[in-house]
């Protein structure tokens, strides 16, 4: 409920931010990056006004802005807010492009600044209220810890250390020493408004009874469902056929961030194919007249969850390249199942030029447009190389869509000779994925390509 209130409030603040940006630019003739656009009346941008409000709030949610505790530092809050506002500005540009609207560039920049300022001001007011005596009295939780002595004492120490002032532990009920039937008396005696139930070493029958007793009292229960040890999976709750289920997930979950990523992939791929059509035509003609064979190279690669798809590239090798691969296997410079060779004799002269500037990868925008690939993600490997994986953990790199660029591309790929290091970078990307990380990888890919740091 608290998150929903903040979500709606922040959506309103992003809307006000857009209105203020338009108002300021309407009265102050400022412009950035040269030029001066004509300012239409605000009614002309009403649809944009509504969309920016919705997108801005959900971008905050995507950045984990509402997952912070009351003790989260101001710097972390500012950083998440800054990233969300940067993406909101990018989203505004794309909305204007889709709606075919003209808007002064200064309004777009001012929108990011005013939205940042308004949400920050709201957060400071909330922080001030939460730290006031009245706010603390209203927000304080009076809870009872229930569970085995060892688990409850460890949890109590952690609560007192990390949740000072937010949670007051008024009593403890150790189920390995006292029966769960004593819980109602403790609730009455201490006027508790919450129960934290640690079920790690507690019989499920007692857990169920404790929850039922709290149901009758109208007291909220927080069940710590940490009975299973996992190393990389994140735990979430969901509903299956009307029953609560625990979900152990070691890949990015479906969220507004993921949906935004898919929309951006589709839009950027479409724009790239149109904008670079002239380059496609030039490269196709050069390839056709300098080397016998087709213009495009098609190869089955492993996509999401290992599902094969036909990846496209401009052909950079001779026609019988696959037949020659076996004779060159002794010169492989990459350990593991992957074949990489710096001075590959199978590469044509034009192919060497294309590889240096990564131009051979351009047709993969078609794969992105049809949903087989993403702009950012682990590079897709040939099906036969994936079959040679000798470590099941390596297959987790297949748990997300393959991409045109990735951490490996910008982390000195020509210096990486161990396949395990390559996989390590892919898993680091998966475990830390966010739209902001994608944005940074794309920004770092551009200078890497322009520097001619091409593929092997």
Between CA 52 and CA 88 the distance in angstroms is 7
Q: Is residue 206 part of a domain?
A: yes
Boundary-marking domain end, from 114, 133, 152: 133
Shared-domain flag, residues 179 and 317 = no
pTM above 0.85, yes or no: no
Q: What is the pLDDT of residue 436?
A: 86
Residue 250 lies in a domain: no
Same domain, 129 and 149: no
Total number of domains constituting the chain: 3
Distance (Å, rounded) from C-alpha 28 to C-alpha 50? Answer: 24
Residue 60 lies in a domain: yes
Residues 73 and 184 in one domain: no
> In terms of C-beta density within 10 A (0-12 exposed, 13-18 middle, 19 or more buried), how is residue 410 classed?
buried
**Which three-class secondary structure state does DSSP give residue 104?**
coil
321-324 contacts at long range (C-beta below 8 A, 24 or more positions apart):
321/346
Backbone φ and ψ for 249, nearest 5 degrees, come out as: -125, 125
Residues 288 and 204 grouped into a single domain: no
Among the three residues 206, 227, 248, which one is the final residue of a domain in this structure?
227
Do both 294 and 398 map to the same domain? yes
Question: Are residues 315 and 363 in contact, defined by beta-carbon separation less than 8 angstroms?
Answer: no
Tens digit of each residue's pLDDT (9 = 90 or more) over 123-147: 888 878 766 666 555 556 788 888 8
For 30-44, 125-139, 262-276, which range has the lowest pLDDT when averaged over its residues?
Answer: 30-44
Min mean pLDDT across 202-206, 257-261, 359-363 is at: 202-206
Shared domain check, 165 and 125: no
How large is the average pLDDT for residues 350-355? 91
Whether 168 is in a domain gets the answer yes
Supply the CATH number for residue 216's domain.
3.40.50.2300
Q: Looking at 99, 133, 167, which one is the last position of a domain? A: 133
d(CA 180, CA 210): 6
pLDDT score of 249 more than 80: no
Residue 309 has pLDDT above 90, yes or no: yes
User: Sign (positive/negative) of CA torsion 397, 401, 404, 407?
Assistant: negative
Q: Are residues 8 and 67 in the same domain?
A: yes
Give the CB-side neighbour count of residue 294, counting CA atoms within 13 A. Answer: 9
In a domain, 403, yes or no: yes
Q: 374-432, pLDDT tens digit by residue?
A: 999 999 999 988 988 888 778 888 889 999 998 887 876 666 778 888 888 998 998 88
247 inside domain: no
Mean pLDDT of the chain, nearest integer? 82
Element (H, E) at 163: none
Based on the domain organization, do 324 and 377 belong to the same domain?
Answer: yes
168 plus 40 within the same structural domain: no
Measuring CA to CA, which residue among 156, 135, 136, 157 is closest to residue 144? 156
d(CA 373, CA 393): 21
What confidence score (pLDDT) does residue 245 get?
73
Domain boundaries, position 274:
256-450
Evaluate whether residue 251 is within a structural domain: no
Same domain, 284 and 418: yes
Beta strands in 289-439 (DSSP E): 296-302, 308-314, 374-376, 403-405
In a domain, 237, yes or no: no
Same-domain check for residues 296 and 342: yes
On whether both 145 and 124 belong to a single domain, the answer is: no
Confidence of residue 297 (pLDDT cuts 50, 70, 90): very high
Task: Report how far residue 46's alpha carbon sits from residue 95's, in angstroms, rounded to the nearest whole number.
Answer: 12
The whole-number pLDDT of residue 226 equals 66
For residue 53 the two structure tokens come to 């409000």
Contact between residue 179 and residue 152 where contact means Cβ atoms under 8 Å apart: no
């Amino acid at each position: 409920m608290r998150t929903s209130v903040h979500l709606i409030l922040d959506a309103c603040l992003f809307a006000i931010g857009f209105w203020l940006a338009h108002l300021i630019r309407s009265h102050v003739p400022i412009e950035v990056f040269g030029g001066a656009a004509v300012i239409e009346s605000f009614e002309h941008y009403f649809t944009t006004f509504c969309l920016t409000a919705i997108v801005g709030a959900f971008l905050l949610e995507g950045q984990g802005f509402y997952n912070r505790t009351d003790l989260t530092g101001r710097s972390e809050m500012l950083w998440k807010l800054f990233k969300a506002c940067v993406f909101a500005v990018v989203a505004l540009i794309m909305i204007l492009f889709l709606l075919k609207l003209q808007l002064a560039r200064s309004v777009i920049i001012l929108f990011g600044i005013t939205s940042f300022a308004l949400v920050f001001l709201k957060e400071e007011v909330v922080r001030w209220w939460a730290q006031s005596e009245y706010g603390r009295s209203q927000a304080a939780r009076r809870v009872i810890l229930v569970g085995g002595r060892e688990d409850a004492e460890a949890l109590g120490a952690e609560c007192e250390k990390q949740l000072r002032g937010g949670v007051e532990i008024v009593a403890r009920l150790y189920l390995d020493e006292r029966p769960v039937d004593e819980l109602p008396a403790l609730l009455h005696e201490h006027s508790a408004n919450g129960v934290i139930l640690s079920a790690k070493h507690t019989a499920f029958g007692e857990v169920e009874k404790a929850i039922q007793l709290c149901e009758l009292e109208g007291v909220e229960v927080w069940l710590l469902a940490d009975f299973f040890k996992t190393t990389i999976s994140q735990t979430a709750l969901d509903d299956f056929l009307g029953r609560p289920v625990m979900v152990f997930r070691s890949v990015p979950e479906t969220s507004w961030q993921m949906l935004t990523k898919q929309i951006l992939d589709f839009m950027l791929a479409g724009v790239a194919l149109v904008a670079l059509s002239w380059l496609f035509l030039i490269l196709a003609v050069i390839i056709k007249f300098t080397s016998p064979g087709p213009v495009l190279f098609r190869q089955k690669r492993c996509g999401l969850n290992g599902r094969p798809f036909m990846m496209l590239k401009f052909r950079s090798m001779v026609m019988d390249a696959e037949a020659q691969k076996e004779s060159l296997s002794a010169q492989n410079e990459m350990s593991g199942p992957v074949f990489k060779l710096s001075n590959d004799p199978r590469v044509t002269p034009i192919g060497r030029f294309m590889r240096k500037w990564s131009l051979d990868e351009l047709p993969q925008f078609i794969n992105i447009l049809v949903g087989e690939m993403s702009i950012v993600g682990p590079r897709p490997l040939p099906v036969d190389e994936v079959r040679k994986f000798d470590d099941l953990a390596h297959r987790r790199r297949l748990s997300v869509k393959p991409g045109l660029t990735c951490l490996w591309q910008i982390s000195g790929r020509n210096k990486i000779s161990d396949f395990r290091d390559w996989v390590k970078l892919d898993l680091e990307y998966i475990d830390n994925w966010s739209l902001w990380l994608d944005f940074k990888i794309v920004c770092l890919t551009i200078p890497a390509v322009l520097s001619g740091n091409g593929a092997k």
